[in-house]
Amino acid sequence: MNYFPDEVIEHIFDFVTKQRDRNAVSLVCKSWCRIERFSRERVVIGNCYAISAERVIARFPGLKSLTLKGKPHFADFNLVPQGWGGSVDPWIEALAESRVGLEELRLKRMVVSDECLDLLSRSFLNFKSLVLVSCEGFTTDGLAAIAANCRFLRELDLQENEIDDHRGHWLSCFPDSCTSLVSLNFACLKGEINLAALVRLVARSPNLKVLRVNRAVPPDTLQKVLMQAPQLVDLGTGSYVLDPDSESYSKLKATILKCKSIKSLSGFLEVAPRSLPAFYPICLTLTSLNLSYAPGVHGSDLIKLIRQCGRLQRLWILDCIGDKGLAVVASTCKELQELRVFPSDPFGVGHAAVTEEGLVAISAGCPKLHSLLYFCQQMTNAALITVAKNCPNFIRFRLCILDPTKPDPVTMQPLDEGFGAIVQACKKLRRLSMSGLLTDQVFLYIGMYAEQLEMLSIAFAGDSDKGMLYVLNGCKKMRKLEIRDSPFGDGALLKDVGKYETMRSLWMSSCEVTLGGCKTLAMNMPGLNVEIINENDQMEFIIDDEQKVEKMYVYRTLVGPREDKPEFVWTL
């Protein structure tokens, strides 16, 4: 079948980079599969329980970069109890025993232990990059091992992890010979660090492009660091509390002027707003700005800053910016592609919240917008329809109304029509999260129009099984469906059980699904793991199939039920 020698085909495959394409390529014929698998360097495993480490290693011996995701998405919101699973240890152990020359490990929502970080650091000579997002289970001791042992470490990127900070001197564990750092992000660490060690480390890292420090790093140290690294492209400040009339401030301001390459700015974990102007000079070239952790900055200060940022493509901000602030964003940031507006006061009365007005303004001013995460007080159908018309390019649209079943406050209608307009207009929509008052109708629209939809998050929505069925039937590309507190039951669950093998996972919590329904599903689909999470003590009482299941997580897998289940998780 092959007209070319293997080396030529392999070379051609080098240009095929996306995992999906490579997967497709490997289905063509046996020899292509063979060639592809030996040349594959990057593997993304979207669900660590769908396959075993051994099988991955066996198939891709040339593996250099592994991405793993563990817990289901709703674990981010405390819906998955501690101890559920998602440990990366078996993977590291298997990799360490093999001949794989791992260079990059990226983990999301997994449990990582210090022991396995230590093992990781000692097992792979060429290890270059560790990226941990939303992980937990480790301490700064593990980081110390990575720092000490990975001689060619280029990237250590810790995003929003729960790390037990032993306040040790992990930063000092980077040997003096370590000069290869390109990216260092420890913003999520809560403890003190050795400031002098940080400055020295930056000084000997000429390739450093990304540096995001934590709250323990004061402005003085920031200034010293910037002096050593004017080549930075991505800066995350730590605590930014200083008096604009002080000498430290002038010094910092002067130093910032030298940093002409900064494109991305974040941090401000504590901030004195009157000192923000020091950053105005770099605002002109900023493409990414994240102020979503900056507490208590008034809308007016935010607006002044943003007025400087004409080239912004990504903006993460708190809702204290207000609708007025968003209007300024709309008029200033014409290149905006991604916007996230987080609630500054999630349980409060909502003084500083944004409403549909802000979103409409943004949509009118930023036609390139394709990714949105928006927490707001309220939303109207009219606004959503306008947004859909203005921005037909949405790929990700996540709307969260703080009061999850709130109807359109003007018409008191459900938001079906609004979301319907979004899915109809945005033909490239891949991810959608909805909130507000929603009936089965919105799901009908989704099923009909959202052809590219891969991930859907539903909460407190729908009236009947029909809703879920519309989605399951209509969205051919659905991969992840997560539902909470909605009245979907066995009828919807069991209508087309084969569908779940075409998806990565299904999560249903506080719905109408019964134990009997789950059992039926499990019985008919051996290729799925049907896991029930039971947090109550009355396990003994649960013999009755009629009982509703509190939390159900279904995912396709090639390796059967997992062995590391805690006692509150059952696989049916």
x-or-dash pattern for other proteins, window 516-535, by CB under 8 A? xx--x---x---------xx
**Tokens for 321?**
């910016």
* Minimum CB distance to other proteins smaller for 21 or for 545: 545
x-or-dash pattern for other proteins, window 436-455, by CB under 8 A? -x-x----------------
Amino acid code (one letter) for 71: K
Min separation Cβ 373 and other proteins, Å: 10
Min separation Cβ 536 and other proteins, Å: 6
Q: Contact 456/481 with Cβ under 8 angstroms?
A: yes
Give the chain's radius of gyration (CA, Å).
25
**Tokens for 538?**
């009355």
Asked whether position 494 contacts other proteins by CB under 8 A, the answer is yes
Min separation Cβ 346 and other proteins, Å: 5
| Residue-wise burial string across 68-79, b where 16 or more C-beta atoms lie within 10 A, e elsewhere | bbbbbbbbeeeb
* Minimum CB distance to other proteins smaller for 207 or for 411: 411
* Minimum CB distance to other proteins smaller for 9 or for 107: 107
* Minimum CB distance to other proteins smaller for 54 or for 157: 157
Asked whether position 177 contacts other proteins by CB under 8 A, the answer is no
Figure out which of the listed residues 11, 258, 260, 274 binds other proteins, where binding follows CB under 8 A.
274
* Minimum CB distance to other proteins smaller for 149 or for 486: 486
3-state secondary structure of 306: helix
| Residue-wise burial string across 352-361, b where 16 or more C-beta atoms lie within 10 A, e elsewhere | bbbbbbbbbb
Q: For other proteins, which stretch binds (CB under 8 A), given 21-29, 71-79, 283-291, 388-396?
A: 71-79
Asked whether position 269 contacts other proteins by CB under 8 A, the answer is yes
- Taking the alpha carbons of 9, 11, 14, 16 in that order, is the dihedral positive or negative? negative
Unique residue bearing structure tokens 């910037």? 226
x-or-dash pattern for other proteins, window 84-113, by CB under 8 A? ------------------------------
Min separation Cβ 72 and other proteins, Å: 12
Figure out which of the listed residues 164, 487, 565, 571 binds other proteins, where binding follows CB under 8 A.
487
d(CA 489, CA 478): 19
**Tokens for 405?**
């079943």
* Minimum CB distance to other proteins smaller for 199 or for 513: 513
Min separation Cβ 262 and other proteins, Å: 23
Asked whether position 70 contacts other proteins by CB under 8 A, the answer is no
Min separation Cβ 303 and other proteins, Å: 15
Min separation Cβ 210 and other proteins, Å: 20
Interacting positions 456-485 with other proteins (CB under 8 A): 457, 459-460, 463-466, 484-485
Interacting positions 136-175 with other proteins (CB under 8 A): 160-162
Figure out which of the listed residues 214, 221, 290, 292 binds other proteins, where binding follows CB under 8 A.
292
* Minimum CB distance to other proteins smaller for 9 or for 572: 572
Q: Contact 380/408 with Cβ under 8 angstroms?
A: yes
Asked whether position 491 contacts other proteins by CB under 8 A, the answer is yes
The size of the interface with other proteins (CB under 8 A), counted in residues, is 95
* Minimum CB distance to other proteins smaller for 180 or for 405: 405
Figure out which of the listed residues 38, 280, 342, 568 binds other proteins, where binding follows CB under 8 A.
342
Figure out which of the listed residues 241, 284, 410, 558 binds other proteins, where binding follows CB under 8 A.
241
Min separation Cβ 557 and other proteins, Å: 18
Pairing of strands 551-556, 505-509: antiparallel
Asked whether position 489 contacts other proteins by CB under 8 A, the answer is yes
The residues, any chain, with a CB within 8 Å of residue 553's CB and separated by 6 or more, are 72, 505, 506, 507, 531, 533
**Tokens for 192?**
């003190």
Cβ count near 482 (within 10 Å): 20
Min separation Cβ 266 and other proteins, Å: 13
* Minimum CB distance to other proteins smaller for 296 or for 566: 296
Asked whether position 81 contacts other proteins by CB under 8 A, the answer is no
Figure out which of the listed residues 3, 5, 30, 78 binds other proteins, where binding follows CB under 8 A.
78
Figure out which of the listed residues 318, 379, 385, 429 binds other proteins, where binding follows CB under 8 A.
318
Question: Smallest Cα–Cα separation from 352: which of 291, 275, 300, 287?
Answer: 300
- Taking the alpha carbons of 310, 313, 314, 317 in that order, is the dihedral positive or negative? positive
Asked whether position 567 contacts other proteins by CB under 8 A, the answer is no
Q: Contact 451/475 with Cβ under 8 angstroms?
A: yes
Question: Smallest Cα–Cα separation from 43: which of 96, 88, 106, 108?
Answer: 106
**Tokens for 220?**
């003085």
Q: For other proteins, which stretch binds (CB under 8 A), given 196-204, 226-234, 287-295, 444-452?
A: 287-295
* Minimum CB distance to other proteins smaller for 95 or for 402: 402
List, as own/partner pairs, every contact residues 443-448 make where C-beta atoms lie below 8 angstroms and the sequence separation is at least 24, other chains included.
443/467, 443/468, 443/470, 443/471, 444/470, 445/416, 445/419, 445/420, 446/419, 446/420, 446/470, 446/471, 446/474, 446/475, 447/471, 447/473, 447/474, 447/475, 448/474
Interacting positions 353-412 with other proteins (CB under 8 A): 375, 400, 402-407, 409, 412
**Tokens for 24?**
């497709």
The residues, any chain, with a CB within 8 Å of residue 184's CB and separated by 6 or more, are 155, 156, 157, 201, 205, 208, 210, 211, 212
Name 235's bridge partners: 211, 265
x-or-dash pattern for other proteins, window 10-49, by CB under 8 A? ----------------------------------------
Asked whether position 568 contacts other proteins by CB under 8 A, the answer is no
Question: Strands (DSSP E) along 217-301, which ranges?
Answer: 234-236, 239-240, 264-266, 270-271, 288-290
* Minimum CB distance to other proteins smaller for 199 or for 400: 400
